[in-house]
Amino acid sequence: MRLLVTGGAGFIGSHYVHHVLSTTDDQVTVLDALTYAGSLQNLGPALHSDRLTFVEGNILDGGLVDDLVKTHDAVVHLAAESHVDRSFLAGGHFLTVNVLGTQLLLDAARRHRVGKFVHVSTDEVYGPLPEGAAAEDAPLRPTVPYAASKAASDLVALSAYATHRVPVCVTRSSNNYGPRQHPEKVIPRFVTRLLKGERVGLHGRGEHVRNWIHVSDNAAGIDLVLRHGRPGEVYNLGGGTDLTNQQLTEHILRACGAGWDRVDYIPDRQSNDLRYAMTWTKAARLGYGPNRGFEGGLEQTVDWYRANTGRWAPPHRNADSPVCRVLMSRPAPPV
Ligand code: NAD
């Protein structure tokens, strides 16, 4: 299969590309704009594989997207703006990349009749749940601009199936962790600060609850949905571990050999959902199940940051500007 992976130089995308190259004979093309969040270092030795082609480009470049989709059998779409805190400052940019970018890819997928289109999304679209767990048909109640843009893109993707029968599946995973995650996200931020001997700040009283999935489990789940998921369906992909941020901090402190004296309680951010939770029995019926235990996965993650100090603050290209510079530079052909 010829597979187009958008966002393949990012955290989850690069793990997904490594997963495909090591478990299949597929040819993979990565389309990635290498924003502050993407790095060729994430692809590492895979860049030398004759089964991988890397294209630096923007999903908002309709002409480029059309050219690429035309020559591929399937699309796995991960490219997105992904950091909640940044979305507070740049909601319009998140909407443009996450929703319009998805639409341009879907239009091309429709034109060229791709065999499968997997849209990668998040449990944050369900919004906070004081109790219980969201199944795939639960209402979408996002509360932060990032999650709202992902919910909108999920609906756009599912409407392409309903209207045009573009063979779309949506995956929604919980919080990912593992090697190569950008240090703006909580686990690498805490780990790198503690390893540097610095202090960490815990929002509120640390009572927020998140489910954690090792990135390798998400990569395997996405691939399962690509090959066996039913078009038009959503699949939740959860990890085995629910933790309050207080409990998460305890795990990280232990893994880094640090104590609570290195933790400051800081005011909560302007919007912070108290609890996410979802079921994943539907994906389990395809054969999905999280394999990585949290403690072992966290240890592996800490070891990776210890060994890769050069990645604690990756070289940023558009670091200061959340504004995308290529906006519809080559319009796509009409649908
Ligand atoms: P990331 O920020 O590490 O990577 C995003 C990648 O997309 C980067 O390589 C970036 O360069 C690229 N990109 C951004 N804008 C682009 C554009 N306009 N054109 C082309 N490439 C562009 O994100 P991640 O954590 O790997 O997340 C990947 C996907 O998974 C996202 O869609 C995100 O919403 C979703 N997701 C993430 C998590 C998580 O915990 N990280 C959980 C659930 C779902």
CA of residue 116 relative to chain centroid, distance: 19
Pairing of strands 209-214, 241-244: antiparallel
Q: What is the pLDDT of residues 71-90, one digit of tens each?
A: 999 999 999 999 999 999 99
With a 6 Å cutoff on the Cβ, whether 21 touches ligand 1 is no
Residue 73 is part of a domain; what is its CATH number? 3.40.50.720
Mean pLDDT of 247-269: 95
What pLDDT score does 120 carry? 98
Q: What is the pLDDT of residues 115-164, one digit of tens each?
A: 999 999 999 999 999 999 999 999 999 999 999 999 999 999 999 999 99
pLDDT of 315 higher than 80: no
Q: What is the pLDDT of residues 1-20, one digit of tens each?
A: 999 999 999 999 999 999 99
The answer as to whether 281 is a domain residue is yes
Token couple for 275: 């609890």
Distance, CA of 239 to CA of 262 (rounded, Å): 28
Tell me, in angstroms, the distance from the centre of ligand 1 to residue 255's CA. 27
Q: Examine the residue annotation and report whether 124 is marked as an active-site residue of this protein.
A: yes
The answer as to whether 204 is a domain residue is no
The answer as to whether 199 is a domain residue is no
Q: Is the pTM of this model over 0.75?
A: yes
What pLDDT score does 321 carry? 35
The answer as to whether 206 is a domain residue is no
With a 6 Å cutoff on the Cβ, whether 101 touches ligand 1 is yes
pLDDT of 309 higher than 50: yes
Read off the pLDDT band of 314 (50, 70, 90): low
Distance, CA of 197 to CA of 266 (rounded, Å): 19
Contacts of 258 (CB under 8 A, 6+ apart): 194
What pLDDT score does 270 carry? 75
φ, ψ for residue 3, nearest 5 deg: -115, 125
The answer as to whether 258 is a domain residue is no
The answer as to whether 203 is a domain residue is no
What pLDDT score does 328 carry? 38
The answer as to whether 23 is a domain residue is yes
Classified as helix, coil or strand, 134 is: strand
Mean pLDDT over each residue of the chain, to the nearest integer: 93
> 159: domain range?
2-177+213-240+277-291+315-328
With a 6 Å cutoff on the Cβ, whether 33 touches ligand 1 is yes
Q: Examine the residue annotation and report whether 268 is marked as an active-site residue of this protein.
A: no
Q: Please check whether residue 36 is in contact with residue 319, taking contact to mean a CB–CB distance below 8 angstroms.
A: yes
Tell me, in angstroms, the distance from the centre of ligand 1 to residue 332's CA. 22
The answer as to whether 9 is a domain residue is yes
Query: Total domain count for the chain?
Result: 1
The residue type at 297:
G
Distance, CA of 143 to CA of 105 (rounded, Å): 26
What pLDDT score does 331 carry? 54
Name beta bridge partners: 3.
28, 74
Q: Please check whether residue 102 is in contact with residue 77, taking contact to mean a CB–CB distance below 8 angstroms.
A: yes
Q: Which of 78, 77, 97, 79 is CA-nearest to residue 87? A: 97
Indicate which residue of 66, 123, 154, 217 is catalytic. Answer: 123
Q: What is the pLDDT of residues 171-224, one digit of tens each?
A: 999 999 999 999 999 999 999 999 999 999 999 889 999 999 999 999 999 999
Q: Examine the residue annotation and report whether 123 is marked as an active-site residue of this protein.
A: yes
Q: Please check whether residue 79 is in contact with residue 6, taking contact to mean a CB–CB distance below 8 angstroms.
A: yes
pLDDT of 251 higher than 50: yes
Q: Which of 8, 1, 26 is CA-nearest to residue 78? A: 8
With a 6 Å cutoff on the Cβ, whether 97 touches ligand 1 is yes
Q: Around Cβ 293, how many Cβ atoms within 10 Å?
A: 13
Instruction: Please return the burial class of 292, using the count of CB atoms within 10 Å of its CB with bins 0-12, 13-18 and 19+.
Output: buried
What pLDDT score does 268 carry? 80
What pLDDT score does 150 carry? 98
Instruction: Please return the burial class of 139, using the count of CB atoms within 10 Å of its CB with bins 0-12, 13-18 and 19+.
Output: exposed
